[in-house]
Structure 1
Amino acid sequence: MKEYTDAQRKELQKNPYVLKVSKYKLYYTAKFKEDFWVSYQAGNSPRKILSDFGFDLSIFKQKQIDSLVQHIKKQALSGNGFTEGENRQRRMSMKATDEAELSSPQSITRMQSELQYLRQEVEFLKKIIIADNSEKKK
């Protein structure tokens, strides 16, 4: 198991996407996981995403990055939202059911994130269609 040095822990804790850093474990925010998933779905590599989000890549080993991708992918595909920290009750729900829940700040944040994700997805699909059409013209 990888052990983070004091310097690495201090550097990681400065990143807004980090919820908590222990000696052996790094906890990401639900926002990080959601943003990571959106960027990953848009075709960016995990290393590029981590770099874009302000992480020093020398801290991460490839196995750790692969594990992160699998963990986020599993949460994204579960339909239950992204967890934050060890508390399984702290979820960013992907589905609001009643009107009070829809108007809550968490729900509004979730909807904004979902809207941003969908916009990125549409732009990505447009690029695929344009590339496909340009290939057909050749």
Structure 2
Amino acid sequence: MGANYFSDEQVKELEKNPYVKKVSVKSITYSEEFKELFWTDLQKGMLPRNIFKKYGFDPSLLGPRRTKSFTYRVRKEATRVEGFKDTRRTDSGRPLARVLTIEEDLERLKQKCEILQQENDFLKRVRFINRKQISKLQKDKQ
């Protein structure tokens, strides 16, 4: 069981903060605005604990692990092209295939053709072996 779940009272307290986008018993999602403010203060040399206090969060309520992992995520997101934007909805699932050039498309079709040819040869051999065994069984019965 997780060691740092929020109680119902703590969830209600966190929901009052304008920099909280969503909060549940297990997790908290911060607004993009807070992430940007946090990043600018972090670059100025402020400690993460003090930044959380500055914007109305109780660091002891969040715990050291949450503050440390949030700081890590903000540093990582600051280097992204998208910045602090939440990309979970747009980046979920398998990425879309890029448009292939004519040469790449031709090469893929050739490979697919070879695979299908091998599959056909295999099935022909299986049919041939089955026919052989059926005819052998029929001869043995007679």
Category of TM-score, reference length = shorter chain: 0.5 to 0.7
Q: Is the 8 A contact 1:9 1:22 kept in 2?
A: yes
Amino acid aligned to 1:82? F
Q: Name the larger-Rg structure.
A: 2
Secondary structure (helix, strand or coil) at the match of 1:24 reads: coil
Name which of 9, 12, 15 aligns with 1:10: 12
- Structure showing greater relative contact order (alpha-carbon pairs closer than 8 Å, 6 or more residues apart): 1
Q: Classify 1:76/1:24 alpha carbon distance in 2 versus 1 (closer, same or farther; 3 Å).
A: same
Contact 1:18 1:27 in 2 (8 A): yes
Distance 1:32 1:6 in 2: 23
Deviating runs (4+, > 4 A) in structure 1?
Answer: none
Q: Compared with structure 1, are the counterparts of its residues 88 and 55 closer, same or farther at alpha carbon in structure 2 (3 Å cutoff)?
A: farther
Number of residue equivalences: 89
**What's the CA shift for 1:47?**
0.3
Structure 2 residue 23 is matched with structure 1 residue 21: yes
Matches within 5 A, 1:77-92: 77-84=79-86, 86-88=88-90
> In the TM superposition, what is the alpha-carbon distance from 1:84 to its structure 2 partner?
3.7
**Long gaps (5+) in structure 2:** 92-142
Task: Give the whole-Å Cα distance in 2 for the aligned partners of 1:24 and 1:65.
Answer: 14
Shift of 1:42: 0.6
Cα offset, 1:85, TM superposition: 8.3
Q: Percent identity, aligned pairs only?
A: 37
Residue 53 of structure 1 pairs with residue 37 of structure 2: no
1:7–1:19 Cα change, 3 Å? same
* Superposition RMSD in Å: 1.7
Partner of 1:44: 46
Distance in 1 separating the partners of 2:82 and 2:47: 24
Kindly indicate whether the alpha-carbon contact (under 8 Å) linking 1:19 and 1:27 is maintained by their aligned counterparts in 2.
Answer: yes
Match of 1:65 in 2: 67
Does the CA-based 8 Å contact 1:29-1:84 persist in structure 2? no
Normalising by structure 2, report the TM-score: 0.58
Distance in 2 (alpha carbons) for counterparts of 1:88 and 1:37: 23
Consecutive unaligned residues of structure 1, counting only runs of 5 or more, are: 90-138
